[in-house]
Amino acid sequence: MKIPKHVTIGGIKHTVKRKITPHTSTDVCYGKYSESKSSITITSSRNVGKEKKLRTFIHEVLHGINEDRNIGLEENQIDCMSGGLYESMKSCKLNFSE
Ligand SMILES: [Zn+2]
């Protein structure tokens, strides 16, 4: 799976950007979801592997769904869901482009 340039969340097209450091906080951060900018930013750092970037993409999409649907998931719940979803998608070689 390749990280796309756009993804639709809640019927709204979001831009997927690449940036070396998505956050300015002191926390280790590989991605960021912005509802107001309709965007997801994924790290472009060469020190972060492809799999981690894909996991981060799914994680940020789940943040978007969480906001759009007003689910109220906490960070650790999103992290658990994104890890499980990534593993399942990878195991069945899910490819939406076929
Ligand atoms: Zn998060």
Tens digit of pLDDT for each residue in 41-66? 999 998 899 999 999 999 999 999 99
Q: What is the pLDDT of the chain when averaged over all its residues?
A: 90
Report the CATH number at residue 74: 3.30.2010
1 occurs within a structural domain: no
C-alpha to C-alpha distances, 42 to 7, 38, 69, 93, nearest whole angstrom: 13, 14, 22, 22
22 occurs within a structural domain: yes
Backbone angles phi, psi at 39, to 5 degrees: -145, 155
98 occurs within a structural domain: no
Give the Å distance between the CA of 18 and the centre of ligand 1.
16
**Residue numbers of the domain that contains 54:** 6-91
pLDDT per position as a tens digit, 2-15: 899 999 999 999 99
Asked whether the beta carbons of 2 and 27 are under 8 A apart, the reply is no
97 occurs within a structural domain: no
Q: What's the pTM? A: 0.89
**What tokens does 18 get?**
């690449």
Q: How confident is the model at residue 97 (pLDDT cuts 50, 70, 90)?
A: low
Give the Å distance between the CA of 36 and the centre of ligand 1.
16
41 occurs within a structural domain: yes
pLDDT at 90: 87
36 occurs within a structural domain: yes
Give the Å distance between the CA of 21 and the centre of ligand 1.
14
Give the Å distance between the CA of 29 and the centre of ligand 1.
8
Q: How many domains does the chain have?
A: 1
Give the Å distance between the CA of 48 and the centre of ligand 1.
16
96 occurs within a structural domain: no
